[in-house]
Every structure is written in structure tokens, then in C-alpha cells.
A and B are shown apart, each in its own frame.
Chain A
Amino acid sequence: MHPTAGTENADSARRSTRRALLRGGLVVGGAFAVGGGAFGWRAGAATPAPSAATDQQILNFALVLERLQAAFYTAAVDDDALRGELREFAEIVGGHEREHVAFLEKALGSNADSQPTFEFGSATREEKAFLDAAVLLENTGVAAYNGQAANLTKKSLAAAAEIVSVEGRHAAWISDLAGQHPAPRAADPGATADDVAATLQRTGFIKEQ
């Protein structure tokens, strides 16, 4: 991830270079991966074969989401503004997301990106704002995993499936609590990383990477 302002260390430089090389590799391979959220899917073979390197990228991507969710629910419980089943949701689901974070951090080891900074404003302090945010985060999580699942190596895919399964449950549960349809579609399409990024950016929850 970006080194924090003014600091440069070997680690971040190495990660940046690795990322750059990966991007370069993609360009050499003929697929322009930068920007262009509108491109959506790429037909079959143009996506790079699963590898430890792409696993690492994807798991770091998942880690941002899981950390965001975990922090969100932890803050919601701490702010003590939720009652009844909503509070129960925040407690239980927060526990799950914290376990997901722990799993991904352990899987990535020293390759895990640094901890971002989050700020949630009224979303952890007001019921309606909480519901809206939680529905968005859970649905986005499902779409994010579904978009990247087939890019993972088999071992990572197996693990990711165990996680997205629970995110799907969370999504249905919170949608029901919010008076929305728990399963609005017959299939949950995967989202591109760019779309997920844009969605998360719009929340304003991520202050710094």
C-alpha cells in the first residue's frame, strides 16, 4: 500500500515495485488492467492464470473489505447506539468479520497490506445510517468475492468460498432487518475491483490506506 505520508521504507518500495511489475506483466500479456471499470468482464483467456501473486493481490483486496466491515461493526457496538436484533447483528457479524480479518492476515503474513484508517460518522451511531451502510457493505462484499473467486488458486478459492458463504448470509440477514429483499436476484453477479473500489470510496469510510 501507499507508504504513509513522508515515509519510505524498503517494504513499501518493494510492494510498489512488485505491483508495478505485475501491472507491467499484464500489459506485456496484452491486457490493460488499469482503469476502465466499464470494460467489466474479459472473455476467458485474457484474465491471467491464478498464481500466488494474484492470490496475494486478491486477498489483500478482500482484507480491505473485511477490515472495513470489522471496524464498522466493532465501532457500532462500542458506540452503543443500536438496540435489539440490530445490536445482536453487529455483535455476531462483527465477530465473524474479525475472524475473517484474522484469517486473511495470517494467510498473507508479511505480505498483508498495512492497516487503513477508517471513520464512520453517524453510520455507527444512528440506526437508519447503520442499516444502509451494513446492507451496502455486505452486498458489496458478496459482489467483490464473487468477482474474484475464479481468479484465485484452488486452495484460496476453497477458503474464499467459506467466507463469501457467510457474507451472503449476512447480506440476507441485514437486508431483512432493513426491510429489503434478502435475496433480490436469482444469482449474485461478481463486481469488478474498480466498481468495488468506487463503492467503498463513496462511503467515505476509508480515510487512509
Chain B
Amino acid sequence: MTPREEISEPTIDELASTLAEIDADGALQETAEAAFGGTRAAFLQRSLAAAAAAAGGLFAANSADAADVATTKNDIAMLRFDLVLEYLQAGFYTEAERLGALTPKTLGWARVVGAHERAHVVALKRLLGRKTVPSPTFNYGSVTTREQAFIRTAVGFEDLTAALLKWQAPRLDSRSVVAAAITLHSVETRHAAWIRHLIGLQPAARAFDKPASQARMARLIASTNFVSAQPQLAGRSRPRLTG
């Protein structure tokens, strides 16, 4: 039985049109302009590298470690990617709520959804155990304080996180990981429909939602320029203090 002839990835155009529908004035692109000014080139390089690393491509699985959880390298790489995505979302919604600059309705959405994403972070970290990854450093620029830019980014995040989980589901080795991931997936689509409904967009535009690959997601994350260099707050040089 072949339910579908071929499960194919959406084209860049299709994904772009998903974003375009909610990013009419390029808020996601705008983030790059707003956030990085003169040092943009340098940060673009670093953020791409960080996103690629976060995508699991550069993580060497420690085969010497006894696995905390009996999951395959393939599954661990995917779960790590999910975790980075959850860090990204959780950080975004948490900052928006703390800064409190959005409308009450949007803040109310960010408050609830942020709590969900933070809970997802906790669950994924617990599952990964010693194989977990720390959060990248994020710079959301002014997107967390601007209503339209925030909403467009949030809609994009929710739609695309769900799309990624759809792509991962048939590629995961462990059925229990599938069972767990699928419980998150529908919550992300609820988030997506909820915020679309809030802003007057169609909550459910089509009968079937398409998957989006991890590679595409990594490129998309990189294009937001939200992943930034980690500041160096500690040093070893001699203090230049009055004493």
C-alpha cells in the first residue's frame, strides 16, 4: 500500500510562500538588518556556522559514552536539532513576555506558548542526558518588542517547527521517540493556528501540511540571524581595577 506516491520535500518556493504569507514586509529579513549593523558580515558567518553545528552535522557522537538513553546516533542528532529549535522559540517568547512591549493579546499568547516551549526544552534535555547540547546565544534584536515583526516570526516558527517534526517522524529509528515527538507536533500546530486566528489569518489553510527538512530549517534559522556569537564575559587577564 502506498498512501502517497512520494513524500517529497516542499520546494524553497513553497516554504518561501509560507513565510511570505506571514512575512509580507520581510520582518524575518528585517531582523538581520536591525540586529547587526556594521558587523553583520562577521556575525552572518558565525551564525551560519552555529546553526550548522546546531543542526547536528558537526557533533561527533561520543561512541565511547554509554548512552544515557538507548537512542541511535541518527535519533540523537534529530533530537538535538529539535532542542536547538525549542531553545530558539523558548528564548524568543520568554524575552517578548519579559520586555512586555507587545499588545496584551499577543503577550498572553507568548506567555502560554513560551511556557510550553520551555517545557519542551526540559523534556528534550532530560531525554538527551549527557548527549544534550547547551543553548546557543540568541539575539532577537527588536523583534521581541515590535508587534508585527514578532507575530510574523512567531507564525513562521510554529509552522516550521511542526513542518520539521513531520519531516523527522518517518526518519526516526525509535518508535518511542516518534511517539513522544508526535505529542509535541500537534501542540505546535495548535500554537500556529491559535496565533493565526488571533491576527485574522486562516488557522488551517490546507487539508495536508507539508514537511520541511532539517537542512532547510537550519538555513532558515541562519537567515533570521538570531543565532549570534557568545559574549566572553570571563577572562584570565590581570584586573585593571583600582584595587
Give the contact stretch, choosing among A4-12, A29-37, A90-98, A119-127.
Answer: A90-98
Verify A168–B116 contact, CB threshold 8 A. no
Is B193 among interface residues, defined by CB-CB distance under 8 A? Answer: yes
Residues of A within 8 A of B120 (CB): 186-187
> Please, which residues of chain A bring their CB within 8 A of the CB of B176?
44, 150
A190 contacts which chain B residues (CB < 8 A)? 179, 182-183
Measured between beta carbons, the chain A residues less than 8 angstroms from B175 are 44, 47, 50, 150-151
> Min CB distance, A101 to chain B, in Å?
10
A173 pairs with B179, CB closer than 8 A: no
In the complex the two chains form, is B1's CB within 8 Å of A107's CB?
yes
Residues of B within 8 A of A20 (CB): none
Distance of A96 Cα from B202 Cα, bound (Å): 13
How distant is the Cα of A187 from the Cα of B183 in the complex, in angstroms? 5
Q: Contacts of B185 on A, CB cut-off 8 Å?
A: 161, 164-165, 168
In the bound complex, what is the Cα–Cα distance between A171 and B61 (angstroms)?
A: 39
| Cβ-defined contact, B116 with A183, below 8 A | yes
Given contacts A56-B1, A158-B4, A172-B203, contact A150 B178 (CB under 8 A): yes
- Report A-chain residues with C-beta under 8 Å of the C-beta of B123: 187
Pairwise interchain contact A188-B170, C-beta atoms closer than 8 A: no
Q: Mark A37-63, 1 if CB is under 8 A from B, else 0.
A: 000000010010010100110010000
Neighbour of B189 across the interface among A150, A157, A165, A185, CB < 8 A: A165
Contact yes or no, B207 A100, CB < 8 A: yes
B166 within 8 A of A: yes
Bound together, the chains give a CA A187 to CA B115 distance in angstroms of 12
- Check A162 against B113 for contact (C-beta < 8 Å): no
Q: Are A155 and B182 in contact (CB under 8 A)?
A: no
Provide the residues of chain B in CB contact with A171, threshold 8 Å. 186, 190, 193
B169 within 8 A of A: yes
B192 pairs with A169, CB closer than 8 A: yes
Chain A residues, CB < 8 A from B188: 168
Number of contacting residues on A, CB 8 A?
52
In Å, the complex CA distance between A186 and B113 comes to 8
Chain A interface main SS type: helix
Residues of B within 8 A of A55 (CB): 1
- Contact between chains at B203 and A159 (CB < 8 Å): no
A170 contacts partner chain B, Cβ-Cβ < 8 Å: yes
CB-based contact B115/A99 at 8 Å: no
Asked whether, in the complex, the Cβ of A165 is within 8 Å of the Cβ of B4, the reply is no
Contact indicator B204/A142 (Cβ below 8 Å): no
Selected from B169, B182, B191, the residue in CB contact (under 8 A) with A183 is B191
User: Beta-carbon contacts of B170-181 to A below 8 Å, as 1s and 0s?
Assistant: 110001101100
Contacts of A186 in B (CB 8 A): 115-116, 119-120, 187
User: In the complex where A149-B179, A186-B116 touch, is A161 in contact with B187 (Cβ < 8 A)?
Assistant: no
Closest partner residue, chain B, to A107 (CB atom): B3
Most buried by B among A149, A155, A166, A186: A186
Tell me, rounded to whole Å, the shortest Cβ–Cβ distance linking B190 to chain A: 4
Chain B: CB-nearest residue to A188: B186
Judge whether A173 and B3 touch: CB under 8 Å.
no
List 8 tightest A-B contacts by C-beta distance, closest first.
A168-B189, A168-B186, A169-B193, A169-B204, A165-B209, A154-B170, A99-B207, A172-B190
Listed A/B pairs (5) with beta-carbon separation below 8 Å: A50-B175, A161-B170, A161-B182, A168-B162, A171-B190
Starting from the known contacts A172-B203, A183-B191, A187-B183, 11 additional A-B residue pairs (CB-CB under 8 Å) come to A55-B1, A149-B178, A162-B208, A162-B209, A165-B166, A166-B207, A169-B203, A169-B204, A172-B192, A173-B197, A188-B183
Interface positions of A (Cβ within 8 A of B): 44, 47, 50, 52, 55-56, 59, 92-93, 95-96, 99-100, 103, 107-109, 111, 142, 145-146, 149-151, 154-159, 161-173, 176, 182-183, 185-190
Residues of B within 8 A of A (CB): 1-4, 7, 112-113, 115-116, 119-120, 123, 162, 165-166, 169-171, 175-176, 178-179, 182-194, 197, 202-204, 206-211
